[in-house]
Amino acid sequence: MTLRINDTAPDFEADTTEGPIRFHDWIGDGWAILFSHPKDFTPVCTTELGTMAGLAPEFAKRNCKIIGISVDPVESHVKWKADIASATGNDVGYPMIGDETLAVAKAFGMLPSDAGASSEGRTAADNATVRTVFVIGPDKKIKMQMAYPMTTGRNFNELLRVLDSLQLTMGHKVATPANWAQGDDVIVVPAVSDADAEAQHGSFERKLPYLRMVKQPG
């Protein structure tokens, strides 16, 4: 199954370190980030989950829940938490899905369809494609997705930047330019007329006939 931006994220039921969930119900009316890792008790993954735990308050400020997933059992996740805290200084308080049947990983296209039906005996190398991130909006649609090689730890501050950009677009009909950061000027989307842009933002700078820049809305 190939998922694309603006597809509805698959709904599913799963066991997690915080108890059973139904994914869409768990998301509720806010945003969510589903991020996967190849294997518990591995070095890159340990740094990643600890980093995400440290950034959890920043995602909460943006009304965004975070949830991790691997094909390891929930019991393994629970035991691993102590190592994550020891290595990174951050306690994992967000839920971690135990996807032992590989059902969720396959539904989201993280593993090939012929990957088998069980996590038993699988190594991190077998799960190399499971270092994926999905940003999901309040409408349960996929707004962004990224896949990383198993040797490259992700930049979770980039997820915050993308989330900020998506929320600006939803709330103010603006886009963000390359290398945009909080506070930088933003772009008026082409669907907004000059008159509406002036009414909304007061004024804009026309750099090209199709490129209009404004101050970031508050």
pLDDT (average), residues 81-93: 98
pLDDT(1) > 60: no
Per residue in 183-197, pLDDT (tens digit) is 999 999 999 999 999
pLDDT value for 85: 98
Q: Cβ(182)–Cβ(165) under 8 Å?
A: no
Q: How far apart are CA 5 and CA 183, in angstroms?
A: 26
Query: Rounded distance, CA 150 to CA 37, Å?
Result: 8
Strands 186-188 and 174-175: antiparallel
What pLDDT digit, counting tens, does each position of 152-210 carry? 999 999 999 999 999 999 999 999 999 999 999 999 999 999 999 999 999 999 999 99
Catalytic residues: 45
Helix or strand holding residue 50 (H, E):
helix 43-61
Domains, the chain: 13-153 (3.40.30.10), 173-214 (3.30.1020.10)
pLDDT digits (tens, 9 = 90+) for 4-14: 999 999 999 99
Q: What is the torsion angle, in degrees rounded to the nearest 10, for the CA atoms of residue 29, residue 30, residue 31 and residue 34? A: -70
Condensed to tens digits (0 to 9), the pLDDT of residues 53-78 reads 999 999 999 999 999 999 999 999 99
Residue 52 pLDDT > 80, yes or no? yes
What does the pLDDT read at residue 35? Answer: 97
Each residue of 91-136: pLDDT tens digit? 999 999 999 999 999 999 998 878 888 888 888 888 888 899 999 9
